[in-house]
Amino acid sequence: MNCQLDAASIFYENSLYRFMYEATGSFVPCWMSHLLAGLAIMLLLVNSVLLGAALVTWLERRILGRLHNRIGPNRWGPFGLLQPIADLAKLLTKEDLVPAGADKLVFTLVPFVMMLPLVLMTAVIPFSYNTMLADLNVGVLFILAVSSASTIGIFMAGWSSNNRYALFGAARSVAVLISYEVPVVVSLLGIVMITGSMSLNSIVQAQTIPFLLVQPLALFIFVTGMSAELNRTPFDIAEAESEIIAGYHTEYSGIKFALIFATETGAMLVVSAIIATLFLSGWNGPLENFLGWLWFLLKTLGIIFVFIWVRGTYPRLRLDQIMALSWKFLLPLSLINLAVTSIEVFVLKGVDGYLSTMDLWIMAGINIPLSIMLVLLLGGVLNKKVDASPVKAVAPVVPGVATIEVK
């Protein structure tokens, strides 16, 4: 039984997969060597995501500490790097509680349901030149489809916990997801049109200049929408600590909580990686054949820093404001972006059906000022409605007392 990988296979470019497949293929049936090769890589990916999540937790706490004028965790390991492991050890020793009246099966399933889409998403991300599990030709679609599945886990958690705060969190989370899915999907259509492909690898290769410049509006919409789906500030209403304790995971403790928490930070890591891939030209950079992973990592860390920075700065929006932001602001913007991009692609596209670097620069030159103008314009329109100036109350005023009045 000598199994050879077909050159048309989505795994063909992945040299580790091919090696595992062909090595195991000599003593087991071919279908089983597919399984073994896939398992080996999934093991790598799962572990790198979880370890990455631990590192991101540490990073988040250190950076937030700096923003807060504190030091942050620094006791365990150099710069407190082992703090996530200490936390995990503590959580493992905790009692695994299931609240009375909870739906035990659904309650227990939640951490796995939430973890699964996260791990699946990593399958299509190109970490470096030709380093990905599967070069799926519908990569963008796959990511969008799988990432929204995590909300099912959130809703299961809220529903099964038998806790009213958790139910609040679950209901809010679903409402947010439904609103933000639309602008996020529409915003990515521009990229797909420019590259003419949904494969993440092709998108990276097409970025002779980062799409950050070509599609600034799409980046803005995507980052906003993703922070809403990730429950990051200012959209963290599903687990708003000051309002509904911990939202959907109020009742989770011990290792279940650890898994949910790891999923949340892991999701931030994966989404940052996707943003780096789609908008910051992924592994592109000097010496990309050898150092691709480094550029990819640096870009991902940059995005993560932005997420943490925003968390340390902004207050939270209200549910109705988040809805308004999505439907009245982001959705029109994403539609305008789609229209403008399609006209540009139609006009600039050469006879071979591809856009040259010069074309991309022209698009950047049009899109950047247009985006700034649109955001300011639409933001101003929205702002007037929100900030209706309050009526002055008639108040008895003591005369002869120096007062200053609010503007």
Partner 1 sequence: MNMRTEPMTVNVGPQHPSTHGVFRLRITFDGEEIVEVEPILGYLHRGSEKLAEERNYVQVVTLTDRLDYTSSMINNQAYCIAVEKLLDIEPPKRGKYLRTLVAELQRIASHLVAVGFFIQELGAFGTPLMYAFRSRERILDLFEMLCGARVTVSYMRPGGVFADTPEDFWPALSDFLEEFDEEFGEMEQLLLQNEILTSRTRGVSTLPADMAINCSVSGPVLRASGVNWDWRKMAPYDAYAEMEFDIPVGRSGDNYDRFWVRMQEIRQSVRIIEQCVERIESGPVRHADLPLVVRPEPGVEAYGRVEASKGELAFYLVSDGGVSPYRCKVRSPSLINLTVTEHLLVGWTLPDMIVSLGSVDINMGEVDR
Q: Identify the three-state secondary structure at position 128.
A: strand
Which residue in 318, 316, 317, 303 sits closest to 60, CA to CA? 303
The full length of the chain comes to 407
Q: Is 350 near partner 1 (CB under 8 A)?
A: no
Q: Which of residues 127-166 bind partner 1 (CB under 8 A)?
A: 164-165
The mark string for 377-396 relative to partner 1 (x by CB under 8 A, - otherwise) is ------x--xxx-xxxxxxx
Q: Which residues contact 346 (CB under 8 A, 6 or more apart)?
A: none
Task: Count interface residues toward partner 1 (CB under 8 A).
Answer: 48
Contact between residue 326 and residue 174 where contact means Cβ atoms under 8 Å apart:
no
C-alpha 343/C-alpha 338 separation (Å) is 9
Q: Is 306 near partner 1 (CB under 8 A)?
A: no
Task: Mark out the alpha helices in 101-160 (DSSP H runs).
Answer: 104-122, 139-147, 150-160
C-alpha 264/C-alpha 285 separation (Å) is 29
Which residue stretch of 64-72, 141-149, 203-211, 276-284 sits at the interface with partner 1 (rule: CB under 8 A)?
A: 64-72
Closest to partner 1 by CB, 132 vs 237, is 237
Give least dist CB 61 to partner 1, A: 11
The mark string for 200-239 relative to partner 1 (x by CB under 8 A, - otherwise) is ---------------------------------xx-xx--
Binding residue for partner 1, selected from 321, 349, 368, 378, defined by CB under 8 A: 321
Binding residue for partner 1, selected from 79, 290, 314, 354, defined by CB under 8 A: 314
C-alpha 164/C-alpha 158 separation (Å) is 8
Spell 124-139 as b/e; 16+ CB within 10 A means b. Answer: bbbbbbbbbbbbbbeb
Closest to partner 1 by CB, 299 vs 311, is 311
| Alpha carbon distances (Å) from 357 to 209, 226, 360, 363 | 7, 28, 5, 10
Q: Is 401 near partner 1 (CB under 8 A)?
A: yes
Which residue stretch of 51-59, 215-223, 292-300, 398-406 sits at the interface with partner 1 (rule: CB under 8 A)?
A: 398-406
Give least dist CB 320 to partner 1, A: 8
Closest to partner 1 by CB, 123 vs 230, is 230
Q: Is 94 near partner 1 (CB under 8 A)?
A: no
Q: Is 403 near partner 1 (CB under 8 A)?
A: yes
Please, what is the angle between helix 150-160 and helix 254-279, to 10°? 160
Which residue stretch of 61-69, 268-276, 335-343, 348-356 sits at the interface with partner 1 (rule: CB under 8 A)?
A: 61-69
Closest to partner 1 by CB, 12 vs 305, is 305
Q: Identify the three-state secondary structure at position 27.
A: coil
C-alpha 188/C-alpha 65 separation (Å) is 34
Q: Which residues bind partner 1 (CB under 8 A)?
A: 64, 67-70, 164-165, 168, 233-234, 236-237, 240-245, 311-321, 383, 386-388, 390-398, 401-406
